[in-house]
């Protein structure tokens, strides 16, 4: 299955009314609020669907599933505090929800990888990198993980679906440039 085939499958499920039954964890994101300054696109479900559409059709299916499931933990972890909606711990909670979803859909073979992508889709917020910044030893080790290139794709889809003041996309592009330079990757 390609990412494009996964996107078509989701569109079909939405069209025939079976989406909520097949993916109740994603359906549960309807009405889950997000901070409007960073998510002017709307609730977590709208954001997720926009992120899925941002995935390149030729991408690895794990990118598609990682993107589709990246925020499922928000249904359990979203709360209002100090005048703002927050979702602390949603990546970890979502990662813990991935295995049952993937098993139910007959895709258990990729569940561990997808859970890793979901768990780490917020990594860039702690890196504080800019152009010309050197990465740390721990950051370099993280970049060496075999799923790291797929994680960058998930994060870019997430960023493209975040309308507002978010600078996720800029951060991911900088990290991607550093990754390409460090590992001499050519397009």
Structural domains for the chain: 3-182 (1.10.3210)
The residue among 80, 84, 119, 102 whose CA lies nearest residue 26 is: 102
For position 185, what pLDDT does the model report? 58
For position 187, what pLDDT does the model report? 47
For position 34, what pLDDT does the model report? 87
pLDDT digits (tens, 9 = 90+) for 102-157: 999 999 999 999 999 999 999 988 887 766 678 889 999 999 999 999 999 999 99
DSSP state letters, 68-91? HHTTTTHHHH-EEETTEEE-TTHH
Model-level pTM greater than 0.75?
A: yes
Q: Please provide the average confidence, as pLDDT, over all residues in the chain.
A: 91
Collect all residues with Cβ–Cβ distance below 8 Å to 85 and sequence separation of at least 6.
Answer: 33, 34, 35, 78, 79
Question: Which stretches of the chain score pLDDT less than 70?
Answer: 130-132, 184-187
Q: In 10 A of CB 170, how many CB atoms? A: 12
- CA-to-CA separations, 171 to 18, 117, 128, 148, 175, in angstroms, rounded: 36, 17, 8, 15, 6
Helix 148-160 and helix 61-69, axial crossing angle in degrees, nearest 10: 50
For position 125, what pLDDT does the model report? 84
């Amino acid at each position: 299955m390609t990412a494009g085939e996964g996107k078509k499958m989701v569109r079909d499920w939405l069209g025939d009314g079976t989406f909520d039954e097949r993916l109740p964890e994603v359906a549960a994101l309807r009405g889950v609020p997000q901070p409007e300054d960073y998510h002017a696109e709307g609730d977590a479900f709208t954001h997720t669907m926009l992120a899925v559409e941002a995935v390149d059709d030729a991408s690895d299916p794990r990118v598609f599933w990682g993107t589709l499931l990246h925020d499922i933990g928000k249904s359990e972890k979203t709360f209002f505090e100090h005048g703002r909606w927050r979702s602390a711990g949603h990546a970890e909670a979502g990662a813990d929800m991935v295995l049952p979803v993937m098993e139910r859909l007959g895709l258990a073979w990729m569940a561990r990888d997808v859970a890793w992508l979901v768990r780490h889709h917020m990594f860039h917020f702690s890196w504080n990198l800019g152009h010309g910044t050197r990465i740390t030893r721990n950051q370099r080790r993280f970049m060496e993980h075999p799923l790291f290139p797929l994680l960058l794709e998930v994060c870019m889809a997430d960023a493209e679906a975040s309308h507002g003041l978010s600078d996720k996309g800029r951060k991911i592009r900088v990290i991607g440039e550093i990754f390409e330079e460090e590992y001499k990757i050519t397009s």
